[in-house]
Structure 1
Amino acid sequence: MRKESLARYFYKMLFTQLIILIAFPLSSTGGTWTYNGSEGEHHWSKHYPYCGGAFQSPINFQPELLRYDPDLLPVQVHNYNLSSKEQLTFSNNGHSVQLSLPSHMHLSSLPDQYTAAQLHFHWGSPHMLAGSEHTVSGRQFPAEMHVVHFNSGKYPSISIAADKADGLAVLGVFIEVGEFNPAFDRFLKFVKGIKYRDQKVQVPAFNIQELLPAHLEQYYRYDGSLTTPPCYPSVLWTVFRMPVTISLTQYKALATGLFSSLAQESVPVPLHRNYRKPQLTDNRVVLVSFQEVRGQHGRHLVASPLQRRQIIQQLLMGDLSDVMDESLHHLLPKLARKPWVAKKRKTNQRYQHWSQITEKKQRNQMPNPTGKTPSVWKTVHISPCWQKYGINEDSLSYTHLKNNVTLQLGRHHTDIQVVKALRKAVFPELNLRSYLNCKSDLDLQTIRCLLRTRPTDEATELDQALTKASQRQKLKPMAENRGPALTKLTGQTSVTIHKNAHNMVPANLKEHATEWED
């Protein structure tokens, strides 16, 4: 019996390791996705359903999304000045060029420590200097660099962290074409050695911080996803406001000297225009660490962290008539406040007092000795929507959730069913977490998830009132909501975008070896 138990344990561990290798291959071998054509981004959700889901990246940083946050600290990088005695792997994975980074590089200006893993690039074509993934008021930069970090404070490796909600943090850097950049030339001069997919060379290490802008205190921050399959919504994005420059010759080294095909293939496929188009905002807002001279980005947050927690607690345990009477504009700030009669009305002095409390006093009332954000669902004492799929909080991973959703849908499920089920399962959790951290407005779907814990007449009345308010508010054209240049970038009309709001391109779900870059 003892030998039999050991044998079962051995095969169980072997099977677990096999699954890990399938999901996160040790080396990049290309994938079944591209940026254009039959496997292009509009078809990614066919094999990677999160690509058609919630909180996707990149987005367009349009003025109406920006919220100035004076408490955002400058980005603090550590051990970025590498010794030239170290060697970095410079490779072509068929989707981008990638530079490996040592594990002693890390960020310390976030709630957890995030360790560097790699950096890579997105760019346009030789004749189109437009290849950044994020855009600013519709403007697309020639290229964009992503420095990828994983949450080493909670997870032992990037492979394990990648499909967790707080697993990754990425620094984004816009790249302009201008003066020659000696820091970029440290590795771009080796591009000829990685012309084809799966080729790699060793390059001497250097000061990686020289690749970043001089001003690390000015940036955009929001909650988003990987911009490549499997598109897990697991990324805290920090995109620097100021671009860096490279010369036209350096830009063309990327845009003309690389191929996404293998060296032995008879018809080489150029590697360019490797960027994903802007995605839906999903009630998210973008925090900025800077104020415009003219004050365009100086508008305050709709509600402070303390106010937001109080609103959630009010929904869960408080008098809902107070919410209906005083705080409808806090719950759905994008809706115009409409007068309506509640069954019960009371004067609540706390809501009137909120506006008089300063941000500093609010922070002093919320001591947090660990400096870490507590679990959202444990804080508000409710069960997340994904628990019905047999997932508990300690074992939540987007990979596990996808497998359980697929299993419960049965053999003959459709692609759109998988995409919608996953979105329905993860969106309230993402929205609530982001809302409490001031990076989203509270969505009606999340409010309903909270109200389900209170099967009362007042909860039903509030649900109905919010629904009516939402229906009365005419939807703005999606192109306007997502930025003036987005329709041009995606090639879709506002009507088409609205129809595809929840799933850009539904398709059949199939298991494939997972490859991700961001």
Structure 2
Amino acid sequence: MLPPVHSLFVPVLILLTVNTLASYGAKWTYTGPDGEDHWAQHYPFCGGPFQSPIDIQTPLLRYEPNLAPIELRNYDLSQNEQLTLSNNGHSVQLSLPSRMHISSLPNRYSAAQLHLHWGSLTLLPGSEHTVNGKQFPAELHIVHFNSDKYPNVSMAVDKSDGLAVLGVLIEIGEFNPAFDHFLKFVKGIKYRDQKIQVPAFNIRELLPPRLDQYYRYDGSLTTPPCYPSVLWTVFRSPVTFSVQQFQALASALYSSSVQESAPVLLNGNYRKPQRTDNRVILVSFQDGRALHGIPKAATALQRRQVIQKLLVGDLADLADEGLNQLLPAASPKPRTAGKRKNTRKSQRTHAPGVHKQRWQQNNLPSDTTGGQGGRNAYAPTTGWQKGAYGGQHVGKYGVSEAALCYGALAEKTERQLRGAHGQGQLTQVLRKSVFPELNLRSYLACRSELDLETIRLLLRRRPSDEANELDHSLTMATAGRKKRPVVSDRALSRATTRRPVRYSQSTVRKNNANNNNIYNNAYNNAYNNAHRHNRIQPLEWED
């Protein structure tokens, strides 16, 4: 008997394994009344932000030259070792020893299992990730957990830095002896919950030859409970297996148990692409005509400067230093971070001592170098903890990885809403609670563009008159106004300077004259972008 819906987020999480991802909560399938269109009713994160898979579109790509080749350790397993091959009702899964790990990430990510997603005999495509709309016949996922921080995959699955998954797209082509090491045994796991032992082999042979060419983005589990806890690496080059090997997947397995009278074939077990939520995709390569001119990812240093300016700095500096291009823009056309409009920095006077003191209190850690996408891509930082996270503001403004425990967050939110008879709002509330933090964390790692809702959260740390003025402008923009309000010199000086700084009227007018075009562009870009993205309208969050 499955537990009732109200027990979704109870300590049974300890028993959760990534293979089933549904050992608590309601039944789920890929189609029908329990299909993916209804997952969010019982698993609210499935309707939340930063979901996977996604369509890897060229306009989303940002070239990051510092992305290191994927380095794998202990993947060449001995044939004397036994691995567990199982049918969990959703996929075929092969257990992996934790000594297998990825060594090219800032933490050690140890292997847990691998599994496949595929289509059907009548509808061939079945990969989860797509490339410019192209869907492949199948996809392999090798799941790893952050073993530097968490003892097992069950404890890591709902943490923001908990998982790293290698994705391999699969074409129909030549026979693949590596896949045959376990596919030839699938008749022994024909029905759900059946398991057998199979000889180990070199898991590296399942991957494409080149491990230095891949796509990298922040995403989620592609099955319930859909926690946004995955650092995705999808290899550029697909591998192949034969028609016979594909048929073994699409026709030999059942999602039903042996006791059920009407067997249900296990096929078409893939989730549709999800919206990108301001995310971008880092790529480790930049060659070929199709990829010529891909913009280079903005550096983590530039992005930290933007956040610092929003927190305590002079917002006019964003325009003067060319950093306004890292704020929300109207055009979805990719922007090259290196191309900055040179402007003469305006003359300003600052209260001695105050500037330095406030920046030290709110300075982002210098080790937040995730934008390079290499070994420091997930360097730990300290974050704000407020509202749904049940904490208080802390001194530095990165993102606290330890604070983002999605299971605890969902349980607390559900308990609060249940008391207020508002269970139907769980998905919307979780999305609103989690999105700004995920957006900021991913923005600092150069894997997202900054969202207006995140800017709002940052501005709340400014003095009230500055924050109110700036938030008023954002509110008018998200309400869909086409024209920005007329801002007086006095209001502009309040909105674009630190509280202790005092501008003379002549200085403000001079700054306005020097930067009028830049301010107009920044305002219009932000407003048009807000009008274009309905999801950031106040109190209105879509699934």
Please give the TM-score of this superposition, normalised by the length of structure 2. 0.75
- Once residues 407 and 210 of structure 1 are traced to their aligned partners in structure 2, the CA distance between those partners, rounded to angstroms, is 47
Unaligned runs of 5+ in 2: 1-9, 334-343, 349-365, 370-374, 395-399, 478-523
Q: What is the aligned counterpart of 1:305 among 296, 300, 303?
A: 300
- Give the aligned partner of residue 497 of structure 2: none
| Structure 1 residue 82 corresponds to structure 2 residue 77 | yes
- Give the aligned partner of residue 405 of structure 2: 397
- Give the aligned partner of residue 328 of structure 1: 324
Shift of 1:77: 0.7
- Once residues 25 and 288 of structure 1 are traced to their aligned partners in structure 2, the CA distance between those partners, rounded to angstroms, is 30
| Structure 1 residue 184 corresponds to structure 2 residue 179 | yes
- Once residues 217 and 430 of structure 1 are traced to their aligned partners in structure 2, the CA distance between those partners, rounded to angstroms, is 27
- Once residues 403 and 145 of structure 1 are traced to their aligned partners in structure 2, the CA distance between those partners, rounded to angstroms, is 31
Counterpart of 2:132, as a letter, is S
- Give the aligned partner of residue 347 of structure 1: 346
| Structure 1 residue 42 corresponds to structure 2 residue 37 | yes
Shift of 1:127: 1.8
Distance 1:348 1:207, change over 3 A: farther
Counterpart of 1:472, as a letter, is N
The structure with the largest alpha-carbon Rg is: 2
Counterpart of 2:430, as a letter, is L
Query: Could you report, residue by residue, the CA deviation over 1:13-61 in whole angstroms, capped at 9, with x for unpaired residues?
Result: xxxxx92466516995876000000000010011100000010000000
Shift of 1:474: 8.1
Shift of 1:415: 4.3
- Once residues 85 and 148 of structure 2 are traced to their aligned partners in structure 1, the CA distance between those partners, rounded to angstroms, is 27
Alignment check: 8 A CA contact 1:292 1:298 kept: no
Shift of 1:461: 3.4
Counterpart of 1:144, as a letter, is E
SS at match of 2:99: coil
- Once residues 174 and 368 of structure 2 are traced to their aligned partners in structure 1, the CA distance between those partners, rounded to angstroms, is 48
- Give the aligned partner of residue 241 of structure 1: 236
- Once residues 475 and 274 of structure 1 are traced to their aligned partners in structure 2, the CA distance between those partners, rounded to angstroms, is 36
- Give the aligned partner of residue 386 of structure 1: 388
- Give the aligned partner of residue 154 of structure 1: 149
SS at match of 1:144: strand
Higher normalized contact order (CA 8 Å, seq sep 6+, divided by chain length) = 1
Shift of 1:397: 1.1
Query: Could you report, residue by residue, the CA deviation over 1:214-259 in whole angstroms, capped at 9, with x for unpaired residues?
Result: 1111100000000000000000000001001000000000001110
Q: What is the aligned counterpart of 1:458 among 456, 460, 466?
A: 466
Q: What is the aligned counterpart of 2:431 among 423, 432, 443?
A: 423
| Structure 1 residue 413 corresponds to structure 2 residue 413 | no
> Root-mean-square deviation (CA), in Å?
3.0
Shift of 1:285: 0.1
- Once residues 477 and 444 of structure 1 are traced to their aligned partners in structure 2, the CA distance between those partners, rounded to angstroms, is 10
Distance 1:215 1:318, change over 3 A: same
| Structure 1 residue 253 corresponds to structure 2 residue 248 | yes
- Give the aligned partner of residue 507 of structure 1: none
| Structure 1 residue 172 corresponds to structure 2 residue 167 | yes
Distance 1:129 1:25, change over 3 A: closer
- Give the aligned partner of residue 472 of structure 1: 528
Larger displacement relative to structure 2 (391-400 or 166-175): 391-400
Shift of 1:346: 6.4
Alignment check: 8 A CA contact 1:52 1:419 kept: yes
| Structure 1 residue 282 corresponds to structure 2 residue 277 | yes
- Once residues 248 and 393 of structure 2 are traced to their aligned partners in structure 1, the CA distance between those partners, rounded to angstroms, is 47
- Give the aligned partner of residue 511 of structure 2: none
Counterpart of 1:405, as a letter, is T
Paired residues for 1:137-148 under 5 Å:
137-148=132-143
SS at match of 1:55: coil
Alignment check: 8 A CA contact 1:67 1:297 kept: no
Alignment check: 8 A CA contact 1:115 1:149 kept: yes
Shift of 1:196: 0.4
Shift of 1:413: 3.5
Alignment check: 8 A CA contact 1:68 1:291 kept: yes
Please give the TM-score of this superposition, normalised by the length of structure 1. 0.79
- Once residues 116 and 347 of structure 2 are traced to their aligned partners in structure 1, the CA distance between those partners, rounded to angstroms, is 53
Distance 1:103 1:25, change over 3 A: closer
SS at match of 1:222: strand
Larger displacement relative to structure 2 (31-40 or 166-175): 31-40
- Once residues 123 and 368 of structure 2 are traced to their aligned partners in structure 1, the CA distance between those partners, rounded to angstroms, is 51
Distance 1:21 1:472, change over 3 A: closer
| Structure 1 residue 117 corresponds to structure 2 residue 125 | no
SS at match of 1:176: strand
Counterpart of 2:16, as a letter, is F
| Structure 1 residue 434 corresponds to structure 2 residue 442 | yes
- Once residues 70 and 55 of structure 1 are traced to their aligned partners in structure 2, the CA distance between those partners, rounded to angstroms, is 24
SS at match of 1:251: helix
Alignment check: 8 A CA contact 2:55 2:273 kept: yes
Distance 1:208 1:284, change over 3 A: same
SS at match of 1:112: coil
Shift of 1:272: 0.4
- Once residues 217 and 177 of structure 1 are traced to their aligned partners in structure 2, the CA distance between those partners, rounded to angstroms, is 23
- Once residues 128 and 315 of structure 1 are traced to their aligned partners in structure 2, the CA distance between those partners, rounded to angstroms, is 50
Distance 1:502 1:134, change over 3 A: farther
Counterpart of 2:346, as a letter, is T
- Once residues 475 and 83 of structure 1 are traced to their aligned partners in structure 2, the CA distance between those partners, rounded to angstroms, is 58
| Structure 1 residue 136 corresponds to structure 2 residue 136 | no
Distance 1:83 1:336, change over 3 A: closer
Alignment check: 8 A CA contact 1:118 1:149 kept: yes
- Once residues 294 and 105 of structure 1 are traced to their aligned partners in structure 2, the CA distance between those partners, rounded to angstroms, is 37
Counterpart of 1:328, as a letter, is N
- Once residues 366 and 412 of structure 1 are traced to their aligned partners in structure 2, the CA distance between those partners, rounded to angstroms, is 42
Distance 1:209 1:249, change over 3 A: same
Alignment check: 8 A CA contact 1:302 1:330 kept: no
Give the number of aligned pairs.
441
- Once residues 78 and 311 of structure 1 are traced to their aligned partners in structure 2, the CA distance between those partners, rounded to angstroms, is 38
Distance 1:444 1:32, change over 3 A: same
Q: What is the aligned counterpart of 1:24 among 16, 38, 54?
A: 16
Distance 1:462 1:167, change over 3 A: same
Larger displacement relative to structure 2 (198-207 or 396-405): 396-405
SS at match of 2:231: strand
Counterpart of 1:333, as a letter, is A
- Give the aligned partner of residue 454 of structure 2: 446
Larger displacement relative to structure 2 (244-253 or 297-306): 297-306
Shift of 1:323: 3.3
Larger displacement relative to structure 2 (317-326 or 233-242): 317-326
Distance 1:35 1:56, change over 3 A: same
- Once residues 436 and 331 of structure 1 are traced to their aligned partners in structure 2, the CA distance between those partners, rounded to angstroms, is 13
- Once residues 529 and 439 of structure 2 are traced to their aligned partners in structure 1, the CA distance between those partners, rounded to angstroms, is 21
- Once residues 441 and 241 of structure 1 are traced to their aligned partners in structure 2, the CA distance between those partners, rounded to angstroms, is 23
Distance 1:55 1:413, change over 3 A: farther
Unaligned runs of 5+ in 1: 1-17, 338-344, 350-364, 479-494, 505-518
Shift of 1:396: 4.0
Identical-pair percentage:
58
